[in-house]
Structure 1
């Protein structure tokens, strides 16, 4: 799988409550439908029972792949290293994480062995052990920290027993700690990570200052999962299915024949690498001006450039690139933690002597249609297309593009904070 993108995979600030997603916003079914057959309980309530909910279509895909083998499971670990500089309180940080977990159902989820349902525990304890590296020599400390973070990022989760969130605190010096958070992707996504980090800082500030915390109530992942299940039938679902089946009417696009310097593996592996490249300010501003002059966003322009690059490398004119869509936006559940990503497979053609501006205009129309029908699950589309499985290749989408908001160094109450993603493959 080829992934193109810019900046770390972290969520933006949620929009204001009145702002709507580009696509038609999904609505929750009535309370009597949402709660039918489901035991809902307040987090940590005395005598509370666990809640059960169906898996979303996206979760079903991850569960199936993650349970094939241990390597597949590790591939879905989502990790971040939070560097904190200053006088850190371990107790306040651990208490803050526990309060975040108590607020969000997905962080307390486990999954039935056959993947039929997920269960939300009323309470889950997440320990935050300290790994003290201060006795290491300066020349060895960074290397040992990198080794430990890599191990933490690759440690497998047990979806049936949980918890599906781990935390470790590495002490590099009295005023420099690394807080490592690893979650299974089946319970979290980039948008969720942004919520978790913001709330973690809010609770930590309250623990240290003694002031009360004022946070919006969390959205329920149980209700989100039930709502998604309810949306799979009805006129809107049928119209969305017609749209996506029309987008992939035969003949289907060929596989991406990217040039390689060695034979392609006959089976799918989970080994990958990352390549970082910084765009200077002058180029970034020029791209912004170009996008505005063509009536497009920077995302559209960069996506078009990525697709043109794939065309140049493969010689193919009919190319599919996936882009993730945040289900929180479509459902207007801006304070929702959980795996809510839906992959939008964007099929476009580079025809004849098209100029870049003409191609960008055609891609803009494709994006608009995709976002108008973004609630149709990618997994359902794959089932309806019934594509033949090709060993060593992902079906339909072999390249993914995304543009995320990066978070520069900032304050974590009285600490300096810097986020660094942990590569797990």
Structure 2
């Protein structure tokens, strides 16, 4: 089941974990003060607790103020480091890859722990007051423990940044995230029956009646489509809904979003429109295509004359092969959704497998077709995808193979390069079951 868009946006927000840790630190500081008063007010508590853990009011204030200022400095350095990483991502990789680092929970936890440590010390410093001349406090010991934890986290953050800034680790992270999204979105599709409208009585309604068109009220990207809520709303309104746009599409005002075939009941357009989230930026909310595009953009950027790094482009092609091999083994997104009585309620536009191939490889072919390593890598990856594909997928791969050959037919390669390319192409043709046509596509 798809999660709500608001929950997904909250979890990908930069302030989600830091806010949680900061709130927790506030209540922890209050609880620590009560615990301190409770323990030290007990009979002979000062004799049972080692003196090294106890401090008077002046020493406690010095310790807490020093730790608070140090943690604020560490937080500032962390923010500066994040800005350096973001600048590197913008110049070297892809602007879309920024989201992966910012929304990474390890990055957010580091900022959250630093924020929590600072808030903890400030709250203790605010409420720490002397009631008797010889009163001792235990809370500075807790603050020192938190400061040591923050120092360990800071070392971890430096190591984390040096790992993330490597393009291989970034590509791996995007690939893993996109594959998890595939498993979540397409798992039910594999086990479900795609109930086509032309197999049911609803086909007459769709083909003969004029639908009610629901338009968008704002421009932006289709960020999230709440299909489960659409099914429920369509059931309550006794209608059939067809979603006219796919997730990730850019729309303008008055762009058709939904077509609704009703039974005569009044259609509440605002209720249906509210189930499609439109935002000014495209976000990775259960969007497989967006993950593929991010890997593709890094590969295209690597082929630019300013960077000229074909090895990174080849690595991107290999990661795209991993994604599409996984996608090819699945049935794909579910286009038809029924209510609890198995009546068709929602029709969703879904991309063909050829569309995913085109999105993944065409820009790289366009800018890298002069590089034999790039082209042979694409042919090799298509062969790997073919090996993982059921028969009904192979026609799409064969169609894209012919498109690839047509794109590079005017390029001039050396004889050894042609032999290498034709060897990969021959393996691909036999894998697709078109070995007899190899001579026709020979380079």
* TM-score, structure 1 as length reference: 0.21
- Structure whose residues are more often strand by fraction: 1
- What is the TM-score of this pair, normalised by structure 2? 0.20
In proportion to residue count, which structure has more helix? 2
1 or 2 for the larger relative contact order (CA 8 Å, sep ≥6)?
1
- Tell which structure's C-alpha radius of gyration is larger: 2
